[in-house]
Amino acid sequence: MSLKNQYLQHVYDQVCRRDPDQKEFHQAVYEVLQSFEPIIRKSPELFENGLLERLVEPERGIQFRVAWVDDKGVTHVNRGFRFQFNSAIGPYKGGIRFHPSVNASIIKFLGFEQIFKNSLTGLPMGGGKGGSDFDPKGKSDGEIMRFCQAFMTELYRHIGADLDVPAGDIGVGAREIGYMFGQYKRIRNEFTGVLTGKGITFGGSLVRAQATGYGLCYFTQEALAVMKNESFEGKITVISGAGNVAIYAAEKAMQLGAKVVAMSDSSGYIYDPDGIKLDIIKQIKEVERARISRYVNLVPGSEYHEGSKKIWQTPCKIALPCATQNEIDAEAAKALLNNGVIAVCEGANMPCTPEAVEAFIAAGIIFSPGKASNAGGVATSGLEMCQNSGRYCWTAREVDEKLRMIMINIFHNSYNASKEYGMEGNLVAGANIAGFLKVASAMRAQGIY
Ligand code: NDP
């Protein structure tokens, strides 16, 4: 991959040289640096004093051993990570992911993206991310609890309500956050807002569970209206994943008038021409914790297809990838475009490969990067932090309205930046630029560190 600007290329080369195996991190850095070419021309002073070299290097990275005992008494060892990337505009903030694919590259890509995403929300939050290669699939509740406790037994020394506030991500929902919060509280003997995504009875915010999915739809709705004079109303929509983000994206898209016809998990996807019955998906995924293929046993006329990537062959006007990174490649992008898609808005982090993103932008459809359109989760985490430090409990309506306004603002800030820097409608560049300007200004004001 090569960048037009020599300085940007030099920074990128250095990142690749330092950690040659961290492909996902390289991809995320490349995508961001690409957007900076017009800023370098317009405001070169922003890049003085090695600002970019500092931005691409985490302020701190922690790797640790997590040893735990399963139900049969067997000891297992997993690896834990927390990358505290940038604290220029606030305490580090970002989720924790439990998935066997987790490694330093994935956590660094997510932590790096988080810097710009958090900045875009307008709230005072720096960027960080953590996780473990622990696989929660098939584990008993007791095993999940013991793993979460073991994970927090090391992590607690590195986090705090004014230092670093983790949240959930893939494999980490309200149950895991509850176990980790309990362990932190016991060790530190203090009840503080050190994690977000907590249960409602102990400091969680209403609407946090729905926030990423709802926020994605508020963003998409605004983009459709402003850029295409369109809406969700009557649009066939495909949503990948069947986890936290996907389920609530489907719920809000349906409320806004869309017909959601396909959803997936990592094994395959379901197609329901009459529109997905979300109560059944919730029952399968949230209560039974079963595979999505079970849907066809419960809903006559629906289909199950093995292989999750094929979901993108389904004709649709709106595509919301909400599962995982690099799930839409060039081939999937081509199928979506051939079938007349008008908007692809990312609910997951980096679900589209660079080739897919290029194809969407070249085709002139709406394409929004996760760091803009999935920022509703962390934004509501920010609202949870506000409520925790003030000991407030806002109503669902209050939180939802604040979330909606934040997402509308993120869209406009990204769109306006794309116009101001000569790339109208390129929301990738717009989001990177708008997120960067605030962080760069704070880093410059705080001196070299
Ligand atoms: P969950 O663990 O709740 O759900 C993930 C879903 O994606 C599961 O249904 C999983 O299926 C499916 N999945 C995983 N890998 C694949 C694959 N290769 N193909 C198809 N489906 C797959 O995670 P979340 O919903 O929380 O997170 C989803 C994405 O959104 C991630 O990229 C995350 O970083 C991002 N995100 C999440 C936020 C949040 O608030 N939760 C905030 C911002 C971004 P299976 O059960 O088979 O593994």
Among 310, 335, 368, the domain-final residue is 368
**Whose C-alpha lies nearest to ligand 1, atom 8?**
243
Same domain, 256 and 161: no
Same domain, 342 and 223: yes
Residue 215 CB–ligand 1 contact under 6 Å:
no
Same domain, 264 and 180: no
Same domain, 286 and 185: no
Same domain, 306 and 355: yes
- pLDDT mean for each 10 residues of the chain (449 residues): 92 98 97 95 94 98 98 98 98 98 98 98 98 97 98 98 97 97 98 97 96 98 98 98 97 98 97 98 94 97 96 98 96 98 96 96 98 97 96 96 98 97 96 97 96
Distance CA 101, CA 325 (A): 11
Distance CA 13, CA 7 (A): 10
Confidence (pLDDT) at 125: 98
Among 368, 403, 433, the domain-final residue is 368
Q: Is residue 387 part of a domain?
A: no
Among 307, 338, 368, the domain-final residue is 368
Candidate from 101, 120, 135, 244 with most ligand 1 atoms within 8 A of CB, to mutate: 244
Q: Where are the alpha helices (DSSP H) in 62-193?
A: 104-120, 141-155, 174-188
Residue 212 CB–ligand 1 contact under 6 Å:
yes
Confidence (pLDDT) at 2: 86
Same domain, 223 and 356: yes
Same domain, 353 and 245: yes
Same domain, 168 and 250: no
Q: Is residue 260 part of a domain?
A: yes
Distance, CA 323 to ligand 1 centroid (Å)? Answer: 4
Distance CA 449, CA 444 (A): 10
Handedness of CA 350, 352, 355, 361 (dihedral sign): negative
Candidate from 117, 165, 212 with most ligand 1 atoms within 8 A of CB, to mutate: 212
Q: Is residue 78 part of a domain?
A: yes
Q: For residue 264, what are the β-bridge partners? A: 269
Q: Is residue 23 part of a domain?
A: no
Same domain, 186 and 153: yes
CATH of residue 325's domain is: 3.40.50.720
Residue 323 CB–ligand 1 contact under 6 Å:
yes
CATH of residue 154's domain is: 3.40.50.10860
Residue 210 CB–ligand 1 contact under 6 Å:
no
Same domain, 326 and 360: yes
Q: Is residue 104 part of a domain?
A: yes
Same domain, 215 and 182: no
Confidence (pLDDT) at 1: 74
Q: Is residue 29 part of a domain?
A: no
Q: What six digits make up the tokens of 323? A: 């599962």
Confidence (pLDDT) at 58: 98
Residue 136 CB–ligand 1 contact under 6 Å:
no
Candidate from 101, 238, 266 with most ligand 1 atoms within 8 A of CB, to mutate: 266
Which residues constitute the domain of residue 72?
60-191
For residues 381 and 93, is the Cβ–Cβ distance under 8 A? yes
**Whose C-alpha lies nearest to ligand 1, atom 5?**
243
For residues 333 and 356, is the Cβ–Cβ distance under 8 A? yes
Q: How many domains does the chain have?
A: 2
Which residues, 6+ apart, have CB-to-CB distance to 52 below 8 Å?
7, 8, 11, 33, 36
Q: Is residue 342 part of a domain?
A: yes
Residue 265 CB–ligand 1 contact under 6 Å:
yes
Catalytic residues: 129
Q: Is residue 40 part of a domain?
A: no
The secondary structure of residue 317, as a DSSP letter, is S
Question: Beta strand 75-86 with 126-132: parallel, antiparallel or unpaired?
Answer: antiparallel
Same domain, 174 and 233: no
